[in-house]
Structure 1
Amino acid sequence: MKNIKVKWPLNPQETVLFKVNAVHLQSTWKAKQGAIYITSERIVFEIKPMMMFFLFGIIGWLLTKNKKSYEIPLTDITDFKRGKQGFNKKVAEFDLLDGSKSRFGITGKWEAFDMAYQKAMLDVKPLFSIK
């Protein structure tokens, strides 16, 4: 397994398990490009500032930093499923404890993303369990 570097601080004992390019689907007409990281504690979406590249070329792109724009603690996820939007059939849909939903269009192989997510969730302690 290769070491995945991030530009934001990791918690003690937190490891990055997987990275893939993705699109955060905020609504039907609004989406942001970036990368999604699965760590041992959370899912982090990092925006890629593509507009700076178009406006100022390579120098503008290099001067802007990627930023962590959205994160979901794994303990807040109540349901995960594969969905679709338009022709894209690789949309990760997360239902959260507060009743909200988060959707990400995944590039690359869905199976690799799904396996990394399932592996991360194996170590998460459920907040409640049915006995």
Structure 2
Amino acid sequence: MKEIKVKWPLNPQETVLYKANAVYIKSKFQAKQGAVYITSERIVFETKPMLMFLLFGVIGWLLARNKKTNEFQLADITNFQRTKHGLNKKVAEFELIDGSKYRFGVAGKWEDFDLAYQKAILDVQPLFSVK
């Protein structure tokens, strides 16, 4: 399996399990393009500077830095489900302990994303358990 490189620091013992191009769906009319990463400890969304590409072409896009927009610990996730947004039926919705929700439209095969998430969540001990 090929190692996935990231531009942000990983915690000790943390490994990147999966990367997919994605769209962070902030609201009905607001979204950001980028990539979503599943690590052994967290979910990270990294935005891609599309405005720099539009203004300055490929050189501007290469010079602009990607940045982490959202990240949250796997242990904070209370609910994960597949939903849809418009015509996109491959939207991952994460609900966290604090009640916040994050939605990412995932490119590529949904099954690969779901499998990587399920493998990552198996190793995480939840902060609480519901019986």
- The TM tier, using the shorter chain, reads over 0.9
1:1-131 alignment, distance < 5 Å? 1-130=1-130
What is the number of residues matched between the two proteins?
131
TM norm structure 2: 0.98
1:7 aligns to what SS in structure 2?
A: coil
1:68 aligns to what SS in structure 2?
A: strand
Give the fraction of aligned pairs with identical amino acids, expressed as a percent. Answer: 73
Q: Write out the 4+ residue segments of structure 1 that deviate beyond 2 Å after TM superposition.
A: none
1:58 aligns to what SS in structure 2?
A: helix
Q: What are the ranges of 5 or more consecutive residues in structure 2 without an aligned counterpart?
A: none
What does the per-residue CA deviation read over 1:54-91, in whole Å, with 9 as the maximum and x for residues that have no partner?
10111111110111111011011000000001110000
Instruction: Supply the distance in 1 between the matched residues of 2:11 and 2:97 (Cα, whole angstroms).
Output: 22
Q: What are the ranges of 5 or more consecutive residues in structure 1 without an aligned counterpart?
A: none
1:18 aligns to what SS in structure 2?
A: strand
